[in-house]
Amino acid sequence: SSCPFLYERENKLTGVLDDCFCDIESIDVFNNFKIYPRIQKLTERDYFRYYRVNLNRPCPFWPDDSHCSIKDCQVEPCPELAYVLFCFCIGGQYSQVANDITDIADCEQAQDLGAINSTLSNYTKEAFEDWARHDDAQDHFCELDDETSPDANYVDLLLNPERYTGYKGPSAWRVWNSIYEENCFKPRSVYRPLNPMVPPRGKECLCLEKRVFYRLISGLHSSINIHLCAEYLLDEGWGKSLWGPNVQEFRQRFDPAETKGEGTRRLKNLYFLYLIELRALSKVAPYFERAFVNLYTGDHQEDRTTKELLLQFFNDTKAFPMHFDEKSMFAGQKMEAKTLKEEFRLHFKNISRIMDCVGCSKCRLWGKLQTQGLGTALKILFSEKEIKNLPEHSPSKGFQLTRQEIVALLNGFGRLSTSIHQLHNFRALLKEKR
């Protein structure tokens, strides 16, 4: 049968998740019927649809190789010749090969798919200046200067949906390799398709905190891949593109037979990440419940409606009966727990810097947003005491979140909610193919 791992019990994408007491079926029902519809409405509001981001920061770890970042190697600009020399990366060396004119169209398409739509009205730009005067910046969990950098600009997320862009090959591999190999406290027995020449070593036991960190990064990677498979460019003609789910692409990334048994684990890590961010959202609700906390856009009716929707959403998150118990993390000896927490923070800060090495603008946008969203969720879980002791009438003291952190937190979780909803759609498609 075709790709049964999503719905057959023996293939294990079912039942209780590791490291927590929640089952996948309960998450599916809770997300698809309660959370997903609410988060979709919320992220369409003006406060949440605009994200300030600096897409021009240089990669701090290796020379910029954006010319080799799309369709195995991007050519810039695409020449208007019948034949063109395309470069592609092999073992760090460049080779050249002549391709026919159809590849020119491929290159132009890939550049177009990965480009940012920066369209903003004059009214919207004036509103952003008003927002900046209103906002009071605070410390950041991530290595992101996008709130204060003169090179940062607001981007309309609704005009720049996360979907397939053609970004793949050596540049993309290097980004994810850097995240996994340099940052993760990974179990050495995990098969790494990005580095298949390295043989797996013996099993290595990780403490809960280090397992959690690895699973968060793996879950984020899985979520991004699901979006690319679910919003794939199926056809393009007569000026209109056809986007939709690509089942074959999904199988290549998640079918155990195609991934040496890793696909199901990757999907489980997505559910685990969902639980972590869901828990953070339920814990941060008291911060927003205070009367003076305002989701400011300058339109008082819009602001009031957005906050009402947000508080309703928080009530839904708190109603989930099987939350991840974050008290089990950093619960050992005080000094060891403090060291682990700082290690967590520094590793994650480094990952946010690696996102500046992504060679596709639209991929970089969503990578930076989702990284900051996860970083904000961790900041919340690390700040339980501060949130419990929030002053009722003082906006400038105690735990605080910036506009960017709030926008990233809700949109990042919205991406996870969408991934789980899209998995439901893939189940139906795969059953049809059996």
Alpha-carbon span 404 to 424, nearest angstrom: 30
Q: How far, in Å, CA of 377 to CA of 142, rounded?
A: 11
Q: Is residue 221 annotated as involved in ligand binding?
A: yes
Contact 341, 319 (CB under 8 A): no
Cα 418 to Cα 58, 150, 241, 306, 411: the distances in Å are: 31, 32, 21, 20, 10
Kind of pairing, strands 240-244 and 232-237? antiparallel
Beta strand 93-99 with 240-244: parallel, antiparallel or unpaired? unpaired
Q: How far apart are CA 184 and CA 180, in angstroms?
A: 5
In this predicted structure, what is the pLDDT of residue 355? Answer: 92
pLDDT attached to residue 25? 92
Cα separation, 182 vs 151, in Å, equals: 28
pLDDT of residue 230: 96
Contact 392, 291 (CB under 8 A): no
Active-site residue flag, 184: no
CA-wise closest residue to 113 among 101, 105, 121: 105
Any known ligand binding at 376?
no
User: For residues 258 and 208, is the Cβ–Cβ distance under 8 A?
Assistant: no
Which residue bears the tokens 């340099």?
Answer: 182
Of 373, 405, 188, the residue nearest 278 (C-alpha):
373
Helices (H) and strands (E) in the chain, counts: 14, 6
163 is in an annotated binding site: yes
Is 229 a known active-site residue?
Answer: no
Would strands 240-244 and 50-53 be described as parallel, antiparallel, or unpaired?
unpaired
Cα distance between residue 257 and residue 277, in whole Å: 30
pLDDT tens figures, 52-61: 999 888 998 8
Are 179 and 355 in contact by the 8 Å Cβ rule? The answer is no
> Which among 347, 87, 363, 101 is positioned nearest to 231, based on CA atoms?
363
Tokens at residue 412, please?
């990042």
Rg (alpha carbons) of the chain, rounded to whole number: 22
Please, which residues bridge with residue 70 across strands?
Answer: 167
Is 253 annotated among the ligand-binding residues? yes
Q: Identify the pLDDT of residue 10.
A: 40
| DSSP-assigned states of every residue in 306-361 | HHHHHHHHHHHHHT-SS---GGGTT-S-HHHHHHHHHHHHHHHHHHHHHGGG-SSH
Copy the structure tokens of residue 320: 């989930």
Residue 158 to residue 328: CA distance in whole angstroms: 38
Q: Which of 73, 142, 184, 363 is catalytic?
A: 363
Q: CA 306, CA 358: separation in Å to the nearest integer? A: 33
**pLDDT at 335 (0 to 100):** 77
What does the pLDDT read at residue 102?
A: 41
Q: Which sign does the torsion angle of CA 59, 356, 346, 402 carry?
A: positive
- Between CA 46 and CA 320 the distance in angstroms is 27
- Distance CA(387)–CA(21), nearest Å, equals 25
Q: How many Å apart are CA 236 and CA 238, to the nearest integer?
A: 7
* Catalytic residue, candidates 68, 107, 142, 360: 360
Distance (Å, rounded) from C-alpha 281 to C-alpha 311?
11
Tell me which residues of the chain have a pLDDT lower than 50. 1-2, 7-11, 67-105, 107-108, 136-141, 143-144, 188-205
Amino acid found at 427: R
Which ranges of 135-207 does DSSP label H, i.e. alpha helix?
170-183
**Nearest one of 115, 112, 74 to 239, comparing CA atoms:** 112
* CB atoms inside a 10 Å sphere around CB 379: 23
Task: Determine the 3-state secondary structure of 1 from DSSP.
Answer: coil
74 membership: H or E segment, kind and range = none
